Structures are given as structure tokens and as C-alpha cells.
Chain A
């Protein structure tokens, strides 16, 4: 079984509007012009895994009306939930997709502060669930004012229970969470910036940063950099690999990093080598980046994309 943790989930509201402009009233002609999806990195990974045929338990904090909708939607698609109910409202992320001009306007709320009781209940729940999980995915942002190193404790608890961990978060959270020995690390570099003082502008930068991270935290087995999109860099203890698609074009990058993460987790759960798991990650990323809307490809689609990915370069470290 796989577990995912989404501390700061969201209800994603997506509007499809033709010729979107500010200071104008837009009326949606059809009901399907507005969609609501459960959101947040861990939740997205649970959804992607479900379509690959893997069940997962989605854990986290959720509250208010948005929280209820989020949980109902997750259960509708067959995902087991174990969210701690909070008094504060789960955030909303708003996406406006202009279908005429092909633009995306995005407004992400930061989320509400949570209480000490919420954290206490979550930790109690997590410690019990982690015992029945083989891989725990810790992904996404934390609630405002939460300790940036919150994932550190979750990684240590999982390690004690013999559970592997996959950490996918922004550089500030990653830096505060190490050293703690997650099995895999995937930095979310969408907001740019640096990771441990490294600017990650090229595969060489990524290999250097990945090597240094593993040197500092030797329990880490794999560091993945997917923000360069057309070159996905994987660094293990003894080698670096650069994966490239045969066709570098893409339609959208909605959930691209989450797809890479989900594909790798899928590969790991099937006892594949890190290199083969990377192929699954890149193939799933490839599949989601070739559709107009946020998509959740099935395993046969992903496996048909495996041949479109090649390991362009491999270096011994």
C-alpha cells in the first residue's frame, strides 16, 4: 500500500473561458465550463496512482465546506481518505483557462493556519497508518506558520516503521527537512530560486546539487530534477542519468512534476530499479503534458509512452 500526505490540500476550481479579459463579465455558456477537482500535490499523486491501478491512502488536514467536497470527490474516485478534520477552511486554487488565446491565469490561496490540536491528531493518525504503508509520499506546501521542517519528523517516523519516503516540495521545505533520510527527493522548482545555494539552470547544475545532497544525507537514494522539463535529471549514489523525450514539444505542464513523482512511486512499488522507475516517471510526465486539460492517464497509455523516453546520458559518479 502507498500513502500520500497533503498537509495543505486545495479545491481546484477551473474555468474554461473564451477570450478571457480583466474588467469584463464572463458568463459560462455550459456547465462543463466550470470544473472542481481535489488538488494538492499528494492528492494529485494519489489520483495518478489510482489510474495506474494502485490503491493509496490519502492523509492530511482538511476542513470546512471545501474540505468536505475534497474528501467526497476523492472517495468518489475510489481513494481511501484519512484526513484530520480542521476548523479552518481548506483553500481554493483558481485556474482560468482561456481556450481561445491559450493562456492560463492562476490564483493560489496560501491556506489557513491550523491549530496545535490538528497537528497532534494528525501525528497520532500518521504514526498508526505508516505501519501499513510501504511507500509514503510527502508532497506539497505546508500551512502558514507551520514549522518548515515538519516533514523531517514524518520521514523519521516512517523510517522507524520500515517505510520508504518520497519527498516532493519546494526548496525552503526540503532544506528544512534534511538531513532525515528520505528515500527519494524531488524538488519543486516552479517558483525558481536556489536549492542549497545552487542555481539549477542546466543538467550539470542539477547533477552537482544532487551529488551534494546525497553526500550530506547519505540515506537518500535518488534525487530527481524535473523542472527543466525536456531533460529530467536523476542522481543516485553512484551515477547520474539524464532522461529526454523523443519529442520535446508539450501542450501543458499542469501537474507535470506530480506525474513524474507518481510514475517513480509506481515503479518503486513494482520493485523496479531506480532507472526503470525513472522511465515510468518520465513516461507519465510525457503523457500528461500532451493533453489539453489536467489528465490522469491509464497504465496502458503510460506504457505506450515508455518507448518515447530514452536515457540520453549516463555518468558514473
Chain B
């Protein structure tokens, strides 16, 4: 089986000039932790994971900590402050992706290596949909 047999053919995405508030709204309503970003000429650009936003809001002194029991109020202030900023600042252009012809084994390896839960499916710069790790596990069990 290949990625093309199992991925979710949903091309919901955002363009780079949307705001962080729109990004978080989209994440909340689609229940996806990562949203693909597509340029105005409809080319895949990268992806933004919710952790990219969380990371951008963490005060510098907390970034080196491996665990923390609370988030400082500074975090919430930072989040409010960036809500109207363009998401182009937060795009991860090296976010991993898979192509429809990749094997499921390869996709699972990428999930495990990168600890991501959602991977964009891209072919020749065109964004075709998403593959989630849960979807993959469900398919493997059905098989």
C-alpha cells in the first residue's frame, strides 16, 4: 500500500498572508495540529504546527527547560501580541511531507523520526491532502 491509498483528500490550507488568529481558529475547527500553507499561485510552501506557535510565545528563559509545571503569564501575553501577525513569519519550510507514491512504511518512519502527527501530501509542489498518524495506524489494523 502507498500513501495515495490512504491519505485524506482534504486541501484545506491557508495562504501566508493570513494571521495567527486565523491559523489557530482553523486548527481548532479542523482539529488538526498542523495547517499546510500554500502560496497565492497555489504552490505548497510549508506547514505550521501548533508547537511552532507555542514555541514563538514561550519566553526565552523557558526554551531550554525540558519540563515545566506552569506557563508564565508572559506566554499568554505573547500569544495575544502575535495574534494579528502574519503567519508567513512562522512557516516551517522544512516541515516533513510525503508524496502519494511513498510507501506507508516510509510515512510511518517519518512520523516516528520527526514526532509529527500530521504530514502534508505533496506532489510536484501541489498540495494534495494530509496524512495523519492515526489514519495510518487505523489502515494498518484494518489490513
A residues lining the B interface (CB < 8 Å): 57, 63, 71, 75, 78-87, 117, 120-121, 124-125, 127-129, 131-132
Contacts and interface: CB of A to CB of B under 8 A. Distances in A.
Given A80-B129, A121-B22, A129 B11 contact: yes
A128 B12 contact: no
Interface centre among B12, B22, B26, B30 (most CB of A within 10 A): B12
Contact of A124 (B9, B18, B41): B18
B42 A132 contact: yes
Contacts, number: 55
B15 interface: yes
A79 B42 CA distance: 19
Given A85-B26, A117-B25, A129 B10 contact: no
- Contact count band on B: 20 to 34
Contacts of A129: 11, 42
Contact of B10 (A82, A87, A120, A127): A82
15 contacts: A75-B9, A78-B9, A79-B9, A81-B11, A82-B12, A84-B12, A85-B26, A117-B22, A121-B14, A124-B15, A124-B18, A125-B12, A128-B15, A128-B39, A128-B40
Contacts of B38: 128
Given A80-B9, A80-B129, A87-B29, A128 B18 contact: no
Interface string B1-16: 0000000111111110
Contacts of A78: 9
Nearest to A121: B22
B10 A80 contact: yes
Contacts of B25: 117
B81 interface: no
Nearest to B129: A80
A132 B125 CA distance: 12
Interface of B: 8-15, 17-18, 22, 25-26, 29-30, 38-42, 126, 128-129
Nearest to B25: A117
Contacts of B129: 80
Given A79-B9, A81-B10, A86 B29 contact: yes
B40 A127 contact: yes
A78 B18 CA distance: 29
A85 B12 contact: yes
B14 A83 contact: no
Contacts of A132: 42, 126
Contacts of A127: 40
B74 to A, nearest CB: 27
A87 B30 CA distance: 10
A160 to B, nearest CB: 13
Nearest to A59: B11
Contacts of B15: 124, 128
Nearest to A75: B9
Contact of A81 (B9, B18, B39, B40): B9
B8 A75 contact: yes
B14 to A, nearest CB: 7
B27 to A, nearest CB: 10
Nearest to A72: B8
Nearest to B26: A85
Interface centre among A57, A82, A84, A128 (most CB of B within 10 A): A128
The 10 A-B pairs at the shortest CB distance, nearest first, are namely A85-B29, A80-B9, A82-B11, A128-B42, A131-B42, A81-B10, A85-B30, A124-B15, A75-B9, A132-B42
